[in-house]
């Protein structure tokens, strides 16, 4: 039996599904959190990582369950781009998600080029170190650095390929989140999603840097509320 609603969380560059595992505890009873692992990441590390959003969406579509189940799509940083592309694919198939939530990334037409980082391993790892989410002892270990580089380089090629591309209008409710001290994708950039939203739900600027969703429980609770609304349990929280 399908759950009453499903929250689908897509990862940031170099990230794995494990980043979202604990968020399931915030969901209403019966609702499901799905955090798909991308090829070349986490438990799929032996696979070849993909550097095309279209190829990743093709991988994701058969893995998100029955698309007739109300879906809330969430993506952080690179995951926001993947969630947007997955939303487009679902809309084209006639099974739009209930809502799209993008976090810490602007739309494709305002993205800066990241492809150059993919070709410079030291610069890429230094960039990741500045963001503060990767433990310093991991970055200091040559074997761990090598394991990180392979998926990271593919992810940054993906972001580079998406730079300055036109963004189509999103027809489902679109929510945007940004960190007030994000040095990479500030709130003014994330706010640009409004230009591509037929049903703009607003930008929430929350305390923290680029990885603000993991600062406290604000974001997982917000997503739990949207998932509950998608399940039809809280009509005041939003409608299709």
Token match 């974001």: residue?
Answer: 219
Active centre residues (catalytic): 77, 210
End-to-end CA distance of the chain: 23
110-161 per-position pLDDT tens digit: 987 665 777 788 888 888 877 877 777 877 788 888 888 889 999 999 998 8
Taking CA atoms, 155 is separated from 4, 51, 110, 131, 225, in Å, by 32, 6, 18, 16, 30
Q: Per-residue pLDDT tens for 68-80?
A: 899 999 999 999 9
pTM of the model: 0.92
Q: Which helix (H) or strand (E) holds 76?
A: strand 71-76
Confidence (pLDDT) at 201: 98
């Amino acid at each position: 039996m399908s759950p009453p609603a499903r929250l689908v969380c897509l990862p940031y560059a170099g990230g794995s599904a494990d980043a979202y595992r604990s968020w399931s505890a915030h969901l209403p009873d019966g609702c499901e959190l799905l955090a798909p692992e991308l090829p070349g990441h986490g438990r799929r590390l032996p696979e070849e990582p993909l550097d095309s959003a279209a190829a990743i969406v093709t991988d994701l579509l058969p893995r998100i369950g029955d698309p007739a189940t109300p879906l809330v799509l969430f993506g952080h940083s690179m995951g926001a781009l993947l969630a947007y592309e997955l939303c487009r694919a679902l809309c084209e198939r006639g099974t739009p998600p209930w809502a799209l939530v993008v976090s810490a990334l602007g739309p494709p037409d305002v993205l800066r080029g990241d492809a150059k980082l993919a070709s410079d391993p030291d610069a890429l790892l230094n960039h990741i170190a500045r963001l503060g989410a990767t433990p310093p002892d991991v970055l200091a270990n040559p074997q761990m650095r090598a394991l990180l580089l392979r998926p990271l380089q593919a992810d940054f090629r993906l972001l580079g390929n998406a730079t300055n591309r036109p963004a189509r209008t999103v027809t489902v409710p679109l929510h945007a989140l940004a960190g007030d001290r994000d040095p990479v994708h500030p709130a003014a950039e994330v706010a640009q999603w409004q230009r591509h939203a037929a049903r703009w739900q607003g930008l929430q600027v929350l305390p923290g840097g680029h990885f603000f969703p993991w600062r406290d429980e604000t974001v997982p609770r917000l997503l739990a509320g949207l998932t509950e609304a998608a399940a039809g349990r809280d009509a005041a929280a939003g409608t299709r």
